[in-house]
Chains A and B, each alone.
Chain A
Amino acid sequence: MSKTIPEEEKTVRCIVCPTGCEIHVKNVKGELIIDGHTCNRGEEYAKDEFIAPKRILTSTMRVNNGLLPLIPVRTNQPVLKEQLNNILKEIAKKIVNAPIKMGDVLIENVLDLGVNIIASRDLIRV
């Protein structure tokens, strides 16, 4: 997925370890200038956060005939932050039938992003 770099400049608070360094990332004609980090892991993190921040999305999906009315779900890999809302809408549209097993794919290739929505637990039918 090719993406243009969004902003010129950004301060990222590193969450990789509890030190919480403030890292400045600057885009100077396509080249990234990074400073404020104390270690390489922080540099990598700040770069990813600047270019394409990604998150695992966790939510719940409605269920028919289950022990519970909902099943917790997640994306099987991190997705671009800007896609989170669109994916949430897809999850909200869907109702699945119990029984469900942990890891079952409940939405395949959501919005053609190459990402699946999977079940986070077992849920028996009642």
Chain B
Amino acid sequence: MKEYKTDVAIIGGGSAGLAAAIIIKKSGLDALILERDRELGGITLQCIHNGFGIHEFKEELTGPEFVQRFINEVKHLEIPYKLDTMVIKIEKNKTIYAVNNKEGLIKVIPKAIILAMGCRERTRGNINMPGFRPAGIYTAGQAQRFVNVEGYLPGNTYVILGSGDIGMIMARRLIWEGCKVKAVVEIQPTVSGLLRNEVQCLEDYDIPLITSYTVTKIHGRHRVKGVTISKVDRQFDRIIGTDRFIECDTLLLSVGLIPENELSHNAGAELSSNGGPIIDNNLETEIEGMFACGNVLQVHDLVDLVVAEAKRAGINAIEYIKNRYGKNLKKKDKIKCLTGENVNYIKPDLINKSDISKEIIFSFRVQRPERRILIQFKDENNNIVFKRKKRYVIPSEMIELNINLGESGASDETKTIKVEVIPQPEVLIDNND
């Protein structure tokens, strides 16, 4: 078996992996990128629409343009990468096993690892939809790859279940390719993706957005012939007598993304409620020297934030190799972060007590939309250690806050920090940011 040694092994060559590799190489350390696809670039290669890079490059680029800049820099810096190379196992001691068709099974022995495997789409199994399994059911991302990269159309007449951004963007794309999109059906009472996409992808083309409805039956034994949609009540139970049949030959599912973490889990890294590995404020998993960034950690809306997170992971991996690698230091004491009212998950999951007086980037999502809210961080004695007002929160927008908890009363005696999103008390309602 061929063996490779490197300072940092990077698993996944999407935006996150590339950005991390660049910062590591620039510091003088070696990196090796392992990518299972035939080229570098990740999911962004199939997102041919524009809207990327507004923060990172201060211009609005398409997905491929955005990631091409990173690919060019990786090549310019001569950072080694292996394509068509699928990592199949990470051991607790961080030895990596991967396969490719040129070398067979290979072994990579790194000092540190950066997990950057991205996410995958929820499928029909994940959302529990009964019926036959006729041809013509795809996730929106699969359809995106067929249409934008492989060059064929999965069908002619579509219904899209779920009003996530990928589904709405695909609706417009399919119209542009001459297909029909009969409806976007959303189980929630409101659209789940960005307003911008609702306006520019659906309204612009008069595609009906049917909210508080879901698909309750898929018709057709060999190929999809249509779907039955039904109205749902607040508990998402079907309301009898509201069934409607829509004829179509293809159903696209745009029902959400989940981090891709079998590898991390099997290596012994525990996962948290959002499907990403548990990490501390340095993006380090519970396996020392193994870091996570990008969609494998938490699903991001903006690739710019993915890149910023990946750079931090890179910097922390460098710090680890320089100061902690091979030293068998005692594990640091940690404060646990917990989710409270209307908070879906919180990253980081743990804060090193020694870092409590540093700026820490927290990110989380809410469970439901709400106006005029207060974000509060509380310790185990219900002391408020941070609060901020916000006009508007929605689940489809990740919230990122840069906070120094030490300044507002947290200390290394603190045991837990609970994050909650609550309605603003009346007195606070003026002066929203």
Residues of A bordering B, CB below 8 Å: 13, 15, 18-20, 55-56, 58-60, 62, 67-70, 72, 74, 81, 84, 88, 102, 120-122
Contacts and interface: CB of A to CB of B under 8 A. Distances in A.
Nearest to A91: B176
Contacts of A102: 64-65, 68
B394 interface: yes
B78 interface: no
Contacts of B200: 15, 55
Nearest to B203: A13
28 contacts: A13-B195, A13-B203, A15-B195, A15-B196, A18-B392, A18-B397, A19-B392, A55-B200, A56-B60, A58-B50, A60-B147, A60-B148, A68-B149, A68-B150, A69-B151, A70-B148, A70-B151, A72-B48, A72-B148, A74-B50, A74-B62, A81-B204, A102-B65, A120-B63, A120-B68, A121-B45, A122-B68, A122-B72
A38 B148 CA distance: 38
Contacts of B203: 13
Contacts of A18: 195, 392, 394, 397
Interface of B is mostly: helix
A24 B429 CA distance: 27
Contacts of A55: 200, 204
Contact of A56 (B38, B50, B68): B50
Contacts of A60: 48, 147-148, 151
Nearest to A81: B204
Given A20-B195, A68-B149, A81-B204, A121 B391 contact: no
B401 interface: no
B129 interface: no
B176 A121 contact: no
A72 B273 CA distance: 36
Contacts, number: 67
Contacts of A20: 195
Contacts of B50: 56, 58, 74
A88 B397 contact: no
Contacts of A19: 391-392
| CB-CB nearest 4 A-B residue pairs | A121-B64, A72-B48, A69-B151, A15-B196
Contacts of B199: 13, 15
A120 B65 contact: yes
Contacts of A70: 148-151
Given A13-B199, A120-B63, A121-B65, 19 more contacts: A18-B392, A18-B394, A55-B200, A55-B204, A58-B62, A59-B48, A60-B148, A62-B151, A67-B38, A67-B39, A68-B149, A68-B150, A74-B50, A84-B176, A102-B64, A102-B68, A121-B45, A121-B64, A122-B71
B49 interface: yes
Nearest to B61: A120
Interface string B26-40: 000000000000110
Contacts of B39: 67
A15 B394 CA distance: 15
Interface in B36-89: 38-39, 45, 48-50, 60, 62-65, 68, 71-72
Interface in B183-228: 195-196, 199-200, 203-204
